[in-house]
């Protein structure tokens, strides 16, 4: 079997299934596991895949995505080439489990897929999720309001159709914008002040975590009265642990939980 992966999450799922040997190419952003991806041909950034080069590789299946904004154009090009493909569009943790099942079945290793899902469930300390999490008002009051920042200028954050909402819930937090439509959204200063998050998590997409800078948030114009800024509860979690719908969300929850606990210890 020959598999091409066009997003980081799909690459990581294939490798977590013990099937890295079937990969014939990956996108430019796939960086984990390094010992695997460093040896593979690159097909370009996820939003501008070289579909002609992809076709020349003659993959049996191409793993694309409908979660990455703009990647749907690449999917259309793949379809036009007549290539077999899968394009997951997960919106919650249950969807991630579903996609792992689908990919493992396509690769002929369904048992490994179930084992990986069970490992994730144990790590997340939750049961399988089939629908988006629904939090009662009472439950929300007990959780720390957390702003997860995908991009700093303009500020983009997760919205309703994001597994981040469940990750935060498991970790002891809540996304105040969890009911806003879409996968992600731009947020204005007025909305941030109104929701007054207790914690801000920097998780800038496509940026080297070494370049994450909490001072960019702390010094942001108009944010001085935001509780997280005032108390300097601005933490960094690599986007690879939060923004990729695959096995590493388990570590992402651990890091979110650690940040929330650190913030509450500091304010107690």
- Residues 164 and 262 grouped into a single domain: yes
In a domain, 164, yes or no: yes
pLDDT average, residue stretch 106-126:
94
Hey, what are 258's tokens? 């650690």
The domain spanning residue 66 has which CATH number? Answer: 3.40.50.1980
pLDDT band at 208 (very low <50, low <70, confident <90, very high): very high
Assess whether 82 and 167 both reside in one domain.
no
pTM as predicted: 0.90
Does one domain contain both 165 and 255?
A: yes
Q: How many CB atoms lie within 10 A of CB 35?
A: 9
**Residue 120 confidence class, pLDDT cut points 50, 70, 90:** very high
Q: Which of 57, 89, 121 is the last residue of a domain?
A: 89
Judge if 143 and 263 occupy the same domain. Answer: yes
Note whether residue 156 is domain-resident.
yes
The answer to whether residue 125 is domain-embedded is no
Domain count, the chain: 2
> Which pLDDT score is estimated for 267?
64
Q: Report CA torsion sign: 120, 26, 92, 109.
A: negative
Q: Which domain holds residue 52?
A: 3-89
154, 259: one domain? yes
Same domain assignment for residues 155 and 83: no
**Would you give the end-to-end CA distance of the chain in angstroms?**
56
Burial (0-12, 13-18, 19+ Cβ within 10 Å), 99: buried
What digits encode the pLDDT tens for the residues 58-111? Answer: 999 999 999 888 889 999 999 999 999 999 999 999 999 999 999 999 999 999
What tens digit of pLDDT does each residue of 19-68 get? 999 999 999 999 999 999 999 999 999 889 999 999 999 999 999 999 88
Q: What SS3 state is found at 63? A: strand
């Amino acid at each position: 079997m020959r598999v091409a992966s066009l997003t980081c999450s799909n690459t990581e799922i294939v490798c977590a299934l013990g099937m890295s040997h079937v990969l014939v190419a990956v996108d430019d952003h796939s960086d984990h596991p390094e010992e695997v991806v460093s040896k593979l041909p690159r097909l370009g950034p996820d939003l501008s895949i070289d579909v002609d080069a992809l076709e020349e590789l003659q993959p049996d299946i191409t793993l694309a995505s409908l979660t990455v904004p703009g990647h749907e154009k690449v999917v259309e090009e793949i379809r036009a080439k007549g290539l077999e493909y899968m394009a997951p569009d997960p919106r919650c943790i249950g969807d991630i489990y579903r996609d792992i099942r689908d990919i493992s079945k396509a690769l002929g290793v369904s048992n490994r897929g179930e084992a990986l899902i069970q490992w994730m469930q144990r790590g997340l300390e939750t049961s399988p999720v089939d629908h988006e999490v629904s939090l009662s008002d009472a439950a929300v009051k007990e959780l720390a309001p957390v702003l997860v920042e995908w991009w700093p200028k303009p500020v983009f954050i997760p919205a309703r159709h994001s597994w981040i909402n469940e990750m935060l819930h498991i970790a002891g937090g809540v996304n105040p914008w969890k009911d806003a439509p879409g996968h992600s959204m731009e947020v204005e200063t007025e909305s941030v002040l109104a929701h007054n998050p207790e914690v801000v998590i920097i998780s800038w997409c496509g940026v080297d975590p070494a370049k994450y800078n909490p001072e960019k948030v702390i010094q942001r114009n108009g944010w001085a009265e935001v509780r997280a800024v005032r108390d300097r509860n601005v933490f960094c979690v690599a986007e690879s642990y939060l923004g990729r719908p695959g096995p590493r969300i388990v570590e992402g929850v651990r890091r979110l939980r650690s940040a929330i606990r650190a913030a509450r210890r500091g304010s107690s």
